[in-house]
Structure 1
């Protein structure tokens, strides 16, 4: 949520950039256009009441419509989108529609950027990115470098949120250098937000020396400009820095101070949750477990209320589940597991805000299983009789086993990698003929499908697999059935009966096996991004590819690609 705050406050930069939109051609017209934009903005800022601000802009819109002033209409739609949040998307769509085929310096780029901002605030990061990319392209085509860099900065925030710290840092530094070299675009308060973006990225990238450098710069800048909105966040990050540096008492002091300051300038409770989280971690590391749990519970109360997934603090529930387990409070264990599952389910495939650590430590299936075991236990004996104690002991054994598994994960993954490559090599060295379909048919006699139909479908499936057609098109059960000249009911039964898996798993397994073959034999493919490889073998996106690959092989494709060269060199040696 701190990142959202940074994002919102940074939007003010767009208004500053809008002043500097004169190009090499039609220079006098562009200057006049920018002047009109600035005049309308000045009138809005002068008025303190929201309703009157909207009235001023609507009057300007009406006047622009009468005079067929497209640019004036676009300006009005833009300001209305910022003043009337309920109808923001409607106004921005109108702006984009009337300027899409124009070559204005700031439109439609500014419209795309604003639409991206709206989706960002809704948590729909995939859509936000799409509109940022459109805005970036438009700004670049119309030679609006300040707006182009502003949109790129927002893309940097998305990258930082997704954990792509190095790429985000490069964007932030590029923006900082541009502003330093072009003082006319340097608004002091906005400059502080750029420093904050770098601070945030360096902190979570564990580059503590650089983080400290920008924390100090940010605090100095906030004090210099009397920026009461951004100053508390630098204080908070100072506390996070001290925590990561193991100066726990100093961390607690800074975080407590930052928490108080943030509450004075911002009512959004999720911003205090980060303070509570690192205060809790500090007390935990100081040995005061109970005080730590007290603050973890504060974090829990905020997350339950907002249901806002904050990856950096989501492992709060690791501590709360463990604490309730130690205290034998089964109800609380179930409550915390349910909350964790609910927060995890909020994440959508198009969101880049993913909580990687939770996936690694508490797999969703394991959590569901744990929850069901605990509920059954609670129904059978709410007074912790012998059966309950036994289940709790088994539960602890499972957790210990999971912990041990974590330490062995590297070794196990390596073994799985070697096995995959050896299986691939065996396939290369032992080319087999097509399976005799007649002999297979005799194994299944209860599908209620004519034998000759089964033979034909199996033969076509063999050809489908052999030609790797699954890698060229996103098939559904119905579309594949149509291609094989059969119906979906027959096809589903045959796949379930003869492959012992459902259609979705069947397709995923084919693509994963194909990916392994291609990566093992095609060295150039290994230089592709995971997303590009996923599309190459038939998956819609990188996330579904990684999930299917891990489900089938026990390792992620990134691990496979990273270590395959080493294994290949050893084999050649």
Structure 2
């Protein structure tokens, strides 16, 4: 009868257990009660919950009559499973939870595991999934420790997989896929025939495919995370580099002498014998006056206007600036403008509150963009950053 039950031939097992009950009723009290208990389990498996209920109650009553109460917890245990089958989930939870300590005291890990599963299944059916998961995990703990599993408990692993899939927890999902694969390997060995009757949400191929998909997704996430970390490190490194570079450039600007010399330097060289010495000296004196009077601040100052101010031609202006200031004309004018603004920022606090537009207008630039571009090209930092660092330096007392 037990072999038939084990193999899932429940109707045949029922007939044999009835014979056992008739025989052991007068011969062996424990075997008699065991047979009643097994008969109740068979009724439960074929969905005959009414006869299961009747058989369990007979078992309890007979045990009391025979003064043998060792099997009573198992009849109540069977009642709890049967109540779950009847969809009376609250009662099932109550019965199984109440009887668990007695079965645990017997160190009967197999029936403890079964109780955990049906408590979990009842909670799941009541949509208390967080509570259900706790009990399904207990089933897995017993499986890991004792290697005990049977076909109906397999469903708990499917619930665990679905639960963590819904939570987006791929790590736990993968863990229970691995566990279910191990469970199936044992069930195939021990319950090969009965396993064919078990309705599976996940078969072995589906589990392997899901496992592969999750592992691939986790690898991709790892690669993406690594990539993001590398990008963040690169950005941080760039910002640190930029910070120290800007700091160095600021210090260079602060050290640079942006004042006009008190006695402008005149180099006594002729310009390739094209300009006479007298004319050259005269133009150079006018150039110095141009610098001292800040005529370079005038809007749209260019070569033609300079030549007009110096009372000479553009060719002479270009050659004299190239020789005595070692710059091209526009570069020379722009440098004077930028140095003027830097000197004002260093020495006069009101300029530090000017906008870029106001500073550009003060220096005679045609537009704010022209000013900020020229400032950055010559100093490597923007006027905004320079003013920020300058204020910070002054406040720190440097």
TM-score by length of 1: 0.37
Question: Is the 1:314–1:355 Cα contact (8 Å) retained in structure 2?
Answer: no
Larger Cα Rg: Structure 1 or Structure 2?
A: 2
Question: Is the 2:121–2:156 Cα contact (8 Å) retained in structure 1?
Answer: no
Does the C-alpha gap of structure 1 residues 373 and 203 become closer, same or farther in structure 2, counting only changes over 3 Å? same
Structure 1 residue 252 displacement after superposition: 1.0
1:108-153 deviation line (CA, Å, top 9, x unaligned) = xxxxxxxxxxxxxxxxxxxxxxxxxxxxxxxxxxxxxxxxxxxxxx
Comparing 362-371 with 191-200, which one deviates more in the overlay? 362-371
Question: Is the 1:161–1:352 Cα contact (8 Å) retained in structure 2?
Answer: no
Paired residue for 1:190? 31
Paired residue for 1:340? 180
Unaligned runs of 5+ residues in structure 1 are: 1-155, 386-573
Question: Is the counterpart of residue 218 in structure 1 residue 63 in structure 2?
Answer: no
Determine the C-alpha separation between the residues in 2 that align with 1:246 and 1:296. 18
Determine the C-alpha separation between the residues in 2 that align with 1:357 and 1:314. 12
User: What RMSD, in angstroms, separates the aligned Cα atoms of the two structures?
Assistant: 2.1
Structure 1 residue 228 displacement after superposition: 4.0
Question: Is the 1:158–1:352 Cα contact (8 Å) retained in structure 2?
Answer: no
Determine the C-alpha separation between the residues in 1 that align with 2:86 and 2:122. 11
1:386-445 deviation line (CA, Å, top 9, x unaligned) = xxxxxxxxxxxxxxxxxxxxxxxxxxxxxxxxxxxxxxxxxxxxxxxxxxxxxxxxxxxx
Aligned ranges for residues 351-390 of structure 1 at < 5 Å?
351=191, 354-356=194-196, 360-382=200-222
Paired residue for 1:163? 8
Structure 1 residue 384 displacement after superposition: 8.6
Does the C-alpha gap of structure 1 residues 383 and 283 become closer, same or farther in structure 2, counting only changes over 3 Å? farther
1:275 is matched with which residue: 91, 105, 115?
Answer: 115
Paired residue for 2:22? 177
Structure 1 residue 304 displacement after superposition: 2.1
Structure 1 residue 246 displacement after superposition: 1.9
Does the C-alpha gap of structure 1 residues 359 and 345 become closer, same or farther in structure 2, counting only changes over 3 Å? farther
1:77-97 deviation line (CA, Å, top 9, x unaligned) = xxxxxxxxxxxxxxxxxxxxx
Aligned ranges for residues 94-493 of structure 1 at < 5 Å?
156-180=1-25, 183=26, 186-264=27-105, 266-348=106-188, 351=191, 354-356=194-196, 360-382=200-222
Does the C-alpha gap of structure 1 residues 301 and 284 become closer, same or farther in structure 2, counting only changes over 3 Å? same
Structure 1 residue 245 displacement after superposition: 1.6
Question: Is the 1:280–1:294 Cα contact (8 Å) retained in structure 2?
Answer: yes
In the comparison of the two structures, how many residue pairs are matched?
A: 225
Does the C-alpha gap of structure 1 residues 238 and 384 become closer, same or farther in structure 2, counting only changes over 3 Å? farther
1:20-70 deviation line (CA, Å, top 9, x unaligned) = xxxxxxxxxxxxxxxxxxxxxxxxxxxxxxxxxxxxxxxxxxxxxxxxxxx
Paired residue for 2:249? none
Aligned ranges for residues 36-75 of structure 1 at < 5 Å?
none
Determine the C-alpha separation between the residues in 1 that align with 2:167 and 2:150. 27
Question: Is the 2:188–2:195 Cα contact (8 Å) retained in structure 1?
Answer: no
TM-score by length of 2: 0.53
Determine the C-alpha separation between the residues in 1 that align with 2:87 and 2:206. 33
Question: Is the 2:152–2:198 Cα contact (8 Å) retained in structure 1?
Answer: no
Unaligned runs of 5+ residues in structure 2 are: 226-398
Does the C-alpha gap of structure 1 residues 176 and 277 become closer, same or farther in structure 2, counting only changes over 3 Å? same
